[in-house]
Chain A
C-alpha cells in the first residue's frame, strides 16, 4: 500500500518561507505552499455536491414555461411551475443566459452563468422516493438493499482505483463533508476523511491543544512505530489494525503540514499579513463576511476549493445545502435554499475557472463536478402549497471529461415522468433506455478514465467529451 508522504521539518520551513514570499494573493500562495510542502495536486480532481432533502427541479435544472404550463392546464399537463409564488426577487419565468443551450429555473442564481462548462441530465428515474435510498443510490451508483447502501461511494471508487502515487501526494485524498462514505473493497488510503462540520475538519488538521514536550512527542511516535506483540498483530487479521496504523501515519503527515491555517477564513491575530490577505481574498470571492460562520454553503464550497488547490485532497464530497424537504407551504424555502447552494457552487466554479492548475490550464479543466439530490419534488403542489417526493430527477455535471452547454435526456411534459432516452443523442427515443443513477455514476467513472464495470451499465456515451 502506498504511504502518504512524510513531511520533514525542512519542508515545513521551506513552506513557511515560500508562503511569506508570495506576493500575489489567492492562487499563488496556494500553489507556492503546495509545491514547497511537497504536495502535488492531483491532475484530475472531483467534487460531489449533494443538495439534501430532495430539490425542486422546476426551480433549477428542469424548468417549465409558466406561460405554457398554466394553472388552467394542470389537469392536462400535471405540471405547475408556480414561479410567481416565490417572493424575494426571483425571476418569474425561465432563465436562459445568452449563448446557453440550457434552460434554468428561477432558483439557479449565478450558476446559470457557467453554462459553458456544464451539462444537465434530465428525466433520471430514481426508482425511489425515500430519502436515504435515493441519496445512497446516487452516492454509490448501486440501488440500495432496502435502505442499506451497496458497494463503495463513487469518491471512494475513484480514489481507490487512482491509487495515490508519489506524483500525486495528496495526504487526505478523499474528504466527505457531512455526507456518507462507504468503502467495501479498497485499502485504507481510499477511506474518506469524514467530518460533520468545518470545525471537525479544523480539529482534524490542527495540532492537539494539549502539547507534550517535543522529546516526549518524538518518543511516542517512535514507540508507535515499533513492532508490537503477537497478540496485537492477531487483531489485524482482517485489516482493522492496519487501517488504524495508516490513519496514525496520515495524522502525523497532516499535523506536520499545519494545514488548518489554510482552512480558517477569518483573520487570526499573530498570523502573517500574507496569510490574512489570502483569507481576505477567499472571503471576498465566496462572500463569507468576516469568515467566522463556517456552516454556510459558501464556506463549504470555499473549503472544497482550498482542499483541492492546496493539494490536500483529490475528491471532496459535501452536503452543500439542506432544508429542501419542503412538503408544506409554498416553495419559497426550497427556492431560497437551492439558490444559496447554487450561488456557492457558482463561486466555486468561478474560482476553478480563474485558477491556474500546476499541470497547465485552469483548475476547471482538471476537475469534474457532479451535483445531485436524492429525488425531486412533485410537479404539482399539494393542498398546503408544498411539493412532495417525485421519482423523476435531474443532475448537473461540470468540467473535465463531460460535454459542455448540453442538455441530456428529458422529463415528460405530462407529470414530468422519466422516459426512454437514446444514450448517444440524449434525446427521447422509443428504443432508448431509462436513465438511472447507475448510468450517471458510470459516466463520471468513464470521464475519470477508470473501470466502471461495478455499475454493470454503460455510461451516457453521448455526454462524454
Chain B
C-alpha cells in the first residue's frame, strides 16, 4: 500500500506541473525514491482507500496561537489586538466554546486583514528608519538606490516569500509580483513621504493574508 500512496502523491504533483509529466508505468511498480543516508525517517502516507481518497491529511488553517507566533516570527512584532479578538478568530474560551474553530470564514479573513495592516504598517514604517542589515521587509534592498533593479526586487520578493510562506515564488508568480510592485505599489507609495511605508508594507499585507500564510 506504501507504493499506492506514493503513486498517488506522484500523480497529484505531476498534474500540477507545467512540464509534461512522465507517464506512470503501466502494470509496473513505482519505486520509492532513495533517501540520502542521513535523512531522518519519513512517516508513511496513509492508505488513500482508508483516507477518503486522499494521500495525505487535509490542509488546516492555523489556530490563533499559531497565528500569533507566526506574525511574531515573520515581522518581529505582535499584533496588539489579537488577544481581544481571539474568540471571534476561533480560539476556544473554555466557557462557551471548548474547542478551537479553524474555519477560514469571513470574520477570520477580515480580522486577519486588519491585523496584517496594523503589523505591516508598523514594521514597514520602522524599516524606513533602519539600515539595510536590520530591516525586516526590505532586507535585500541597499540604502539609497531609488527604485531598485529587477534583480534586487526579485531577490527581496523571494526572501519575503520564504519568510512568510516557507516556499519561493515560481517564475510566473514572481513576474506578477514584480510587475505589480514596479508599476503600482512603488509609484503610489513613492508619491509622498507619508505613504512610503506602503511599498513594502503592502507586500507584507498581501503575503500575510495569502492562503499560504494561514494553511499548513
Contact = CB atoms under 8 A, between A and B. Distances in A.
A244 B195 CA distance: 29
B16 A233 contact: yes
A224 B205 CA distance: 11
Contacts of B169: 229
A243 to B, nearest CB: 5
A230 B171 CA distance: 12
A229 to B, nearest CB: 5
B176 interface: yes
Contacts, number: 153
Given A223-B176, A240-B60, A251-B109, A216 B185 contact: yes
B106 A210 contact: no
A67 interface: no
A240 B215 contact: yes
Interface stretch (B69-77, B110-118, B131-139, B147-155): B110-118
A178 B96 contact: yes
A236 B211 CA distance: 9
A238 interface: yes
A146 B156 CA distance: 52
Given A216-B202, A229-B170, A235-B215, A209 B114 contact: yes
Given A200-B88, A248-B109, A213 B173 contact: no
B108 A247 contact: yes
B32 interface: no
A232 B215 CA distance: 9
A200 B202 contact: no
A212 B173 contact: no
Contact of A191 (B16, B87, B103, B206): B103
A254 B106 contact: yes
A407 B109 CA distance: 44
Interface string A192-229: 11111100100110001110110110111011101011
Interface string B11-39: 01000111000000000000000000000
Interface centre among B98, B101, B167, B211 (most CB of A within 10 A): B211
B123 interface: no
B54 interface: yes
A247 B198 contact: no
Nearest to B103: A191
Contacts of A193: 105-107
Interface centre among B17, B87, B103, B188 (most CB of A within 10 A): B103
A383 interface: no
Interface in B135-185: 167, 169-170, 172-173, 176-177, 180, 184-185
Nearest to B117: A210
B189 interface: yes
A216 B184 contact: yes
Contacts of B118: 209-210
Contact of A240 (B59, B98, B210): B59
Interface in A60-85: none
Nearest to A209: B114
Contacts of A240: 58-61, 104, 211, 215
A223 B107 CA distance: 21
A216 B198 contact: yes
A356 interface: no
B212 interface: yes
Contacts of A196: 87-88
A247 B167 contact: no
Which size bracket describes the interface of B in this complex?
Answer: 35 or more
B98 to A, nearest CB: 7
Given A195-B88, A203-B110, A219 B185 contact: yes
Contacts of B212: 228, 231-232, 235
A248 B213 CA distance: 14
B121 interface: yes
Contacts of B87: 196
A237 B202 contact: no
Nearest to A132: B98
A241 B215 contact: yes
Contacts of B170: 229-230
A247 B105 CA distance: 5
Interface centre among A147, A219, A226, A236 (most CB of B within 10 A): A219
A235 B96 CA distance: 31
B64 interface: no
A237 B172 CA distance: 22
B107 A204 contact: yes
A245 B106 contact: no
Nearest to B114: A208
Contact of B107 (A195, A216, A234): A195
Contacts of A458: none
B103 A243 contact: yes
B80 interface: no
A241 B59 contact: yes
A204 B180 CA distance: 28
Given A200-B107, A240-B59, A251-B110, A208 B211 contact: no
A197 B210 CA distance: 27
A250 interface: yes
A236 B58 CA distance: 9
A180 interface: yes
A383 B106 CA distance: 48
B114 A210 contact: yes
Given A204-B106, A216-B202, A235-B211, 10 more contacts: A212-B198, A213-B195, A218-B184, A220-B206, A229-B173, A238-B58, A240-B215, A241-B104, A241-B215, A255-B110
9 contacts: A192-B105, A194-B107, A200-B88, A213-B191, A224-B209, A224-B210, A237-B54, A243-B104, A251-B109
What 3 A-B pairs have minimum CB-CB distances, sorted nearest first?
A: A230-B16, A244-B104, A210-B117
